[in-house]
Structure 1
Amino acid sequence: MFFVIPCIDTFKIVDLRVLSFDVPPQEILSRDSVTVSVEAVIYFRISNPIISVTNVNDAQFSTKLLAQTTLRNVLGTKTLSEILQERDNISSVTEKVLDEGTEPWGVKVQRVEIKDIRLPHQLTRAMAAEAEASRDARARVIAADGEKNASR
């Protein structure tokens, strides 16, 4: 039983369960100057409720803001091909940086997952056209080799 004296004491309820939130789509300029839209999911929990209440005004909101900026910073150092190929590595680096940043707030980041990576439509079309041209070139080389062998 706790007694709360009005106007002097305050209390705050802290949820110690694992919480998750979606990082809204972040428009990121990669190292090779390509704009990419990235979404992620962050799983975290309050590890020390006393520190989370005393050291930061709103630990959940602060963690969300830090997650957005950390995701932008980590992905800004990667090229487009690295972003598309190394999702697990990016997730683990982001998790490590977030966990170090939120430790003084009494927050433990447990998992970071890259949910979606969207490329601009023009870039998608250009990549598809390049792949099609490459396939056509290989088909012509194979056909020319076949004709060469047939003429022998």
Structure 2
Amino acid sequence: MLGPILAVVLLIYVFVCIRIIRQYERAVIFALGKFTGVRGPGLIFLLTPFQTMVRVSLRTVTMQIASQKIITKDNVSIDIAAVAYYHIRDPEKSVMAIENVYDAVNQISQTTVRNVVGRFSLDQLLAQTSDINEQIKNVIDTHTEPWGTQVTAVEIKDIVLPENMQRAMAKEAEAERERRAKIVAAEGELQASVKLGEAADIIAQHPVALQLRTLQTMAEISTERNSTIIFPAQFLTTVQEALTMYKPATRTDELPLRPNGDDAKQKPM
């Protein structure tokens, strides 16, 4: 009668002592409070209550770094929020070296973001965000390495500027665009003046070119159905010069002979 009862109790004890560790987990085992090793993944057996275990996840943890006010190097007060990614590399250290890994990484991340960002001016912060993220990651990773934790990335995801600073930056950007527009317009005028000088030299060598340009201008004016067309005085002068240039010269042998004086007299009847 006692045998079946012991068998049932033993069977229940075996089921109680069986643990299943997932692929992304590890079990830190303690025997009578003393560390004995890390097991998993798979099926493990614990001699309850003499052995206990702490589950440790090896997956990457996404941790939000709360927004905090930071004064930059050029004395601008801004609000910065960031996000950090880390994972546990050594389950033994993550359990025995630190009480709560998540809280510890969160606190050191907030402190590091404030210290690192305070070394840069606002312009550097906006232009060199990638470099600043890398510096923050390296500093946090140095602090978390004794805890068996590795920080893989830190990203500044939000930068809130004061309203007066936003207006000042908008004015600066607008002034910069106007400066670029004026420079482009000046370069265009310079190139146009150079081309006009070359065109003037060509027209000086070929006066008829001015006449052709004038006719082209008249054709463009006529497409607008204007009722009045003004002819410049230079246009008439150019026309006369062109006619004189292309008029065939009169030969002297074709000129009529002037009658002599004797022949011009009438004979008396």
Which bracket does the TM-score occupy, shorter chain normalised? 0.7 to 0.9
Among 79, 99, 120, the alignment partner of 2:121 is 79
Q: How does 1:2-151 map to 2 (within 5 A)?
A: 2-5=46-49, 10-133=52-175, 135=177
Larger Cα Rg: Structure 1 or Structure 2? Answer: 2
Q: Secondary structure in 1 aligned to 2:75?
A: coil
Q: Distance in 2 between matches of 1:29 and 1:107?
A: 29
List gaps (5 residues or longer) in structure 1.
none
Q: How many residues align?
A: 144
1:139 deviates by 6.2
Q: Distance in 2 between matches of 1:79 and 1:95?
A: 19
Match of 1:12, as an amino acid?
V
Q: Taking structure 1 as reference, are residues 72 and 65 closer, same or farther at Cα in structure 2, changes over 3 Å only? A: same
- After superposition, what is the alpha-carbon deviation per residue over 1:74-98, rounded to whole angstroms, capped at 9, x for unaligned? 0000000110001110011111111
Q: Taking structure 1 as reference, are residues 125 and 10 closer, same or farther at Cα in structure 2, changes over 3 Å only? A: same
Q: Distance in 2 between matches of 1:43 and 1:139?
A: 44
Q: Taking structure 1 as reference, are residues 44 and 137 closer, same or farther at Cα in structure 2, changes over 3 Å only? A: closer
Match of 2:71, as an amino acid?
L
List gaps (5 residues or longer) in structure 2.
1-44, 194-269
Q: Is the 8 A contact 2:46 2:52 kept in 1?
A: no
Q: Which one is further off, 123-132 or 98-107? A: 123-132
1:137 deviates by 6.5
Q: Taking structure 1 as reference, are residues 19 and 135 closer, same or farther at Cα in structure 2, changes over 3 Å only? A: closer
Give the TM-score, by structure 1 length. 0.84
Q: Distance in 1 between matches of 2:97 and 2:124?
A: 37
